[in-house]
Amino acid sequence: MTFPSFSLSHEQFPKLGTHQLIAKTTESTRNLCKSTLCLFLALAAPFVAYRGYQSFTMYRSSSSPYSPQTDAESLRRQRISSSKLHTPDVSSKAPVIYSSYYDISFLGIEKLHPFDSSKWGRICQFLISEGYLEKSSIVEPLEASNEDLLVVHTEAYLNSLKNSVNVAKITEVPPVALLPNWLVQMKVLYPLRRQVGGTVLAAKFAKERGWAINVGGGFHHCSGGRGGGFCAYADISLCIHFAFVRSNISRVMIIDLDAHQGNGHEMDFGNDERVYILDMYNPGIYPFDMTARNYINQKVEVVTGTTTGEYLKKLDKALAVARNSFAPELIIYNAGTDILDGDPLGGLKVSPDGVVQRDEKVFRFARERNIPIVMVTSGGYMKTSARVIANSIINLSEKGLLDTSVRSGKR
Ligand SMILES: [Zn+2]
């Protein structure tokens, strides 16, 4: 591109009359303007293009479907879609999920926590020996992989579990801090990751068969970024995210009847309108999480010393409110048995028969309205818990609220 000259030479000057001079000057001025404009456009074009690109990227990050939040969501969906946790074939099995890997046993250190870490295996033994379940019909889940766990957990949180001191704090077993981490991974965290796989798989089962029980799981104190209270992984949150993507579920109700407040899933789904949380808990015990309490849709507090009759009356009322408040496509039932009278942590005085009635009420709530239900066993810290849970599953079977289809007729 060439620019027209706008100067008059001394030689040209005397040859021009006044009008000609003015005309020539005007023309030169016009040329000057044109030239300046062209120069400006030439110089400004890259700048304008750059600012335009900046605005476009800002627009993308703030409001378009390509925002970082959407990128995170699409990564989450990708992880869920490529996960193997839903692959075990469940078609010829009972919707009861358990693996002998669930049970934590290592040099007796598990006995340092009041939690009965062989509870899960003993529940199955009762059901099998009494003819309500065949060993071969139990579904064995896969271990939740690191990619699976990242569906909910932050990388920083998962990395923190590579330090045995942190795992000791979360599991509340101080000697774990002294063990090499590879041993902690193998003996403590691996069993828990298997249980997480069980809860995730249970949602698939429940959608197909109407109900499913993971004879483990229910780590309701763990959220995506923080563990505690023996809960190292957020199995309930993971299960729900998997159900959203893999089972085409869009509305989930959590019914958390463990004696403790379920602060983990509350932190994870606090602002998520797809999830309704009914939590019935003793406010005088761990975790005293006031922030998470704000996220409970229906909060029912049962104080220390609450007895069976009072507990069940409050539950009836709560279920009636839930029925009129939200229409779920899946129910996650956190059925902790630490509400039992005598439990060292729960502080409540519900009888074994009260627990059986409680579970029946929740299953009726779901089954009579054809809402798939996933039950996880969560807390329960007495040796008698396993017997009570087995009795409850037998009662549900007797009442026609579930069917393991393998009853041999003997009790
Ligand atoms: Zn509990």
Q: Specify whether the CB–CB gap between 240 and 327 falls below 8 A.
A: no
User: Average pLDDT for residues 343-368, to the nearest whole number?
Assistant: 97
User: Average pLDDT for residues 220-237, to the nearest whole number?
Assistant: 97
CA distance 395 to 402: 9
User: Average pLDDT for residues 4-33, to the nearest whole number?
Assistant: 41
Catalytic residue (one of 153, 221, 260, 265): 221
Range of lowest pLDDT (35-49, 170-184, 322-336): 35-49
Q: Is the pLDDT of residue 155 over 90?
A: yes
Q: Is the pLDDT of residue 63 over 70?
A: no
The CA 217 to ligand 1 mean position distance, Å, reads 12
Q: Specify whether the CB–CB gap between 213 and 393 falls below 8 A.
A: yes
CA nearest neighbour of 221 among 174, 260, 279, 273: 260
User: Average pLDDT for residues 112-132, to the nearest whole number?
Assistant: 84
User: Average pLDDT for residues 47-66, to the nearest whole number?
Assistant: 46
Here the contacts of 76-82 (C-beta below 8 Å, separation 24 or greater) are 76/151, 76/241, 76/245, 77/245, 79/147, 79/148, 79/150, 79/151, 80/151, 80/241, 80/242, 80/245, 80/246, 81/245, 81/246, 82/147
pLDDT of residue 30: 52
pTM of the model: 0.82
CA distance 390 to 161: 33
CA distance 110 to 120: 14
The CA 258 to ligand 1 mean position distance, Å, reads 5
CA nearest neighbour of 397 among 213, 203, 256: 213
CA nearest neighbour of 102 among 123, 86, 85, 87: 123
Query: To the nearest whole percent, how much of the chain has pLDDT over 70?
Result: 79
Q: Is the pLDDT of residue 393 over 90?
A: yes
Residue 78 structure tokens: 């990708």
The CA 287 to ligand 1 mean position distance, Å, reads 10
Range of lowest pLDDT (82-91, 318-327, 394-403): 82-91
The CA 95 to ligand 1 mean position distance, Å, reads 24
Three-state DSSP state, 111: helix
pLDDT of residue 382: 86
Higher pLDDT, 321 or 27: 321
Angle subtended by helix axes 385-398 and 352-367, to nearest 10? 40
User: Average pLDDT for residues 42-54, to the nearest whole number?
Assistant: 46
- Cα 236 to Cα 60, 150, 185, 318, 334, distances in angstroms: 33, 14, 21, 21, 9
The CA 231 to ligand 1 mean position distance, Å, reads 10
Q: Is the pLDDT of residue 172 over 90?
A: no
pLDDT of residue 112: 59
Q: Is the pLDDT of residue 50 over 60?
A: no
Q: Which of 11-15, 316-320, 381-385 has the highest mean pLDDT?
A: 316-320
CA distance 38 to 1: 10
Q: Is the pLDDT of residue 372 over 70?
A: yes
The CA 378 to ligand 1 mean position distance, Å, reads 7
Confidence tier at 90 by pLDDT (50, 70, 90): confident
Q: What share of the chain is helix, strand, coil (3-state, %, to 5)?
A: 50, 10, 40
Tally Cβ neighbours within 10 Å of residue 377: 26
Q: Is the pLDDT of residue 46 over 70?
A: no
Quote the mean pLDDT of the chain.
85
pLDDT of residue 278: 98
Range of lowest pLDDT (26-40, 135-149, 339-353): 26-40
pLDDT of residue 29: 43
The CA 299 to ligand 1 mean position distance, Å, reads 16
Confidence tier at 66 by pLDDT (50, 70, 90): low
The CA 366 to ligand 1 mean position distance, Å, reads 22
Q: Is the pLDDT of residue 14 over 50?
A: no
The CA 97 to ligand 1 mean position distance, Å, reads 21
The CA 193 to ligand 1 mean position distance, Å, reads 19
Q: Is the pLDDT of residue 32 over 50?
A: no
Q: Is the pLDDT of residue 5 over 80?
A: no
- The residue whose two tokens read 């563990």 is 227
The CA 75 to ligand 1 mean position distance, Å, reads 33
The CA 304 to ligand 1 mean position distance, Å, reads 13
Residue 220 structure tokens: 């309701």
Q: Is the pLDDT of residue 299 over 50?
A: yes
User: Average pLDDT for residues 147-155, to the nearest whole number?
Assistant: 98
Confidence tier at 48 by pLDDT (50, 70, 90): very low
pLDDT of residue 15: 38
Q: Specify whether the CB–CB gap between 226 and 219 falls below 8 A.
A: no
Higher pLDDT, 358 or 410: 358
Residue type at 57 in one-letter notation: T
The CA 178 to ligand 1 mean position distance, Å, reads 26
Q: Is the pLDDT of residue 110 over 70?
A: no
CA nearest neighbour of 40 among 12, 3, 74: 3
| Residue 182 CB-half CA count within 13 A | 0
Confidence tier at 115 by pLDDT (50, 70, 90): low
* Residue 113 is a catalytic residue: no
Q: Specify whether the CB–CB gap between 312 and 353 falls below 8 A.
A: no
pLDDT of residue 65: 53
Taking the alpha carbons at both ends of the chain, their separation in whole angstroms is 98
User: Average pLDDT for residues 389-403, to the nearest whole number?
Assistant: 96
CA distance 383 to 161: 29
